[in-house]
Amino acid sequence: MPYSIALLPEPAVIQVTFAGVVTLQERSAALDRLIREQAGTSYERLLVDFTQAAVAEASNAETLDHATRMAREPGVKRMRIAYVGDVAISASVEALAAMRGFYYQRFGATAPALRWLARAA
């Protein structure tokens, strides 16, 4: 499995860590698991760590479908999201996320991302 999910009790963060070359299908599987984990907690902060991963290319249509699916998940939409690493997210997906009200920021390292997420408490 190219990802792992951990619950960090302090500061109530769900951390999804990807490794290797990650396909859109694997990101979708991680989203499914994230939704299940988030439903069982009151956590509204998400750290997505791509420092040890690369994103496999997908078509614009597939990428936008995935982004739309995320946007339709009420639990995910409420989350403050920190992306860590040099992950390639298309400008169209970032624009769509901003228009749909996602609250996220990119970081180069985990520590500043966790500090930013903790400030949301």
Characterize 11-31 residue by residue with b for buried, 16 or more Cβ atoms within 10 angstroms of its Cβ, and e for exposed. ebbbbbbbeeebebebbeebb
- Tell me the mean pLDDT in the region 92-96: 62
Give the start-to-end residue ranges of the domains of the chain: 3-118
**Encoded tokens for 74:** 């009420």
Is pLDDT above 80 for 101? no
Higher pLDDT, 59 or 100: 59
Q: What is the pLDDT of residues 57-86, one digit of tens each?
A: 888 888 778 878 887 888 887 888 898 987
CATH code, 3-118: 3.40.50.10600
Q: What share of the chain is helix, strand, coil (3-state, %, to 5)?
A: 40, 30, 25
Is the pTM higher than 0.95? The answer reads no
* ∠ Cα 9 10 11 (to 5°): 115
The pLDDT assigned to 90 comes to 55
